[in-house]
Amino acid sequence: MNSIADNICAVRQQIAESAARCGRAPDSVRLLAVSKTRSADELRQACEAGQRAFGENYLQEALDKIEALKDLALEWHFIGPIQSNKTRPIAEHFDWVHSVDRIKVARRLSEQRPAGLPPLNVCLQVNISAEASKSGCLPDQVAELAREVASLPGLRLRGLMAIPEASGVPAEQRRPFAALRQLLEQLREELPQLDTLSMGMSGDMSAAIEEGATIVRIGTALFGPRDYSRPNP
């Protein structure tokens, strides 16, 4: 099996190639290493290979790793579902949150963001394929939510995030990413500071980059398949 360092190198190469194919600069796409279920030691290896930004889904697991790795200058992104009674540790320990989908959570994160830290970077999660079972606000709710979130002093609204239904067909992969990009373009008429499209995972990162992703969230292609039977690290 390849080492984490080899995988990071290969994924960065793939990002650069996808960006080049559509005339984008390679550094216009950031690699977020999705490290759920991975041990602090695996994150340390990724950091040694030059990776700084890590995405976590489960709060307690993330807090344990943030504590274990506090000697490193890492950037932490919360990308999982948010319970409104668990916002305080997110506001205190993360640099970004990609999964804000309702105003109640946004208000709490803003109020609970410590005064000594810069505003928390936030993306609104959109249920772009409108599946009832998934989290994320509906596309026709996003403008109102964005307006309210943009006015909260503890937050800095950066853009939109989506997790479309997986498809192995490249032409189908692009459709929901194009829809998210169009939604961001509409919002930017009112909120021109928005600069982020968080979209694309291991199986569909090229399609996402071709539709304008500025952050791709990659787990499996960096760390190998996840094993949920292991106890949390």
Ligand X SMILES: *Cc1c(COP(=O)(O)O)cnc(C)c1O
**Interface with ligand X (CB under 6 A), residue from 46, 91, 109, 218:** 218
62 interacts with ligand X by CB under 6 A: no
Distance CA 188, CA 184 (A): 6
- Maximum Cα interatomic distance, the chain, rounded to a whole number of Å: 48
Helices 142-150 and 170-190, packing angle to 10 deg: 50
DSSP tally for the chain: helices H, then strands E:
9, 8
**Interface with ligand X (CB under 6 A), residue from 163, 180, 199, 215:** 163
Nearer to ligand X, 34 or 124 (CB): 34
Q: For residue 137, what are its two tokens? A: 């606000």
Nearer to ligand X, 57 or 193 (CB): 57
Q: For residue 186, what are its two tokens? A: 């509409």
Q: For residue 112, what are its two tokens? A: 């609970």
217 interacts with ligand X by CB under 6 A: yes
129 interacts with ligand X by CB under 6 A: no
CB 157 within 8 A of CB 194: yes
- Stretch binding ligand X (CB under 6 A), from 105-113, 129-137, 177-185, 199-207: 199-207
Q: Shortest gap between Cβ of 76 and ligand X (angstroms)?
A: 14
**Interface with ligand X (CB under 6 A), residue from 3, 13, 220, 232:** 220
- Give residues in contact with ligand X (CB under 6 A): 34, 36, 57, 79, 163, 201-203, 217-221
